[in-house]
Amino acid sequence: MHIVFVISWFAGLFYLPRLFVYHAQSEDTVSRERFKVMERKLYRGIMTPAMVLTLVTGVWMWLGYGVTGGWLHAKLACVALLIVYHEWLGALLRAFARDENRHSHVFYRWVNEAPLVLLVAIVVLVVVKPF
């Protein structure tokens, strides 16, 4: 079940910045209001619950299996960065909700790539266990 929560969280981490790209490009009020609703529902209804469930089931598995090693500390650091990234996306969402976006669609295209780096790092750490 843990993998379902992880996939749901990552789907949101990839999709929300893409919505920001489209929101930053929108020019009419109707579109901007529609993006605000979509972003809020994604963040509050899917991403945040998926993150919480990912963390809860991850800790449960960690404690249940007693996994140790230096790679685990590196993985946990990557997960901590993902949590910070998630919260930063929430701050960007709140800025859009107040119509105070200060960034271009190009900025959000780059923001969209950040979780990929952490995802690859986590997968490599879990599979290879380099230390």
Is 61 within 8 Å of 2 (Cβ atoms)?
yes
Tell me the domain boundaries of the chain. Answer: 2-128
66 or 81, which is more confident?
81
What is residue 100's predicted lDDT score, i.e. its pLDDT?
Answer: 98
> Please, what sign has the CA dihedral across residues 32, 83, 119, 9?
negative
Report, in angstroms and rounded to the nearest whole number, the Rg of the chain calculated over CA atoms: 16
Contact 106, 37 (CB under 8 A): no
* pLDDT number for residue 64: 87
d(CA 113, CA 99): 24
Condensed to tens digits (0 to 9), the pLDDT of residues 61-71 reads 989 887 788 99
Which DSSP state fits 95? Answer: H
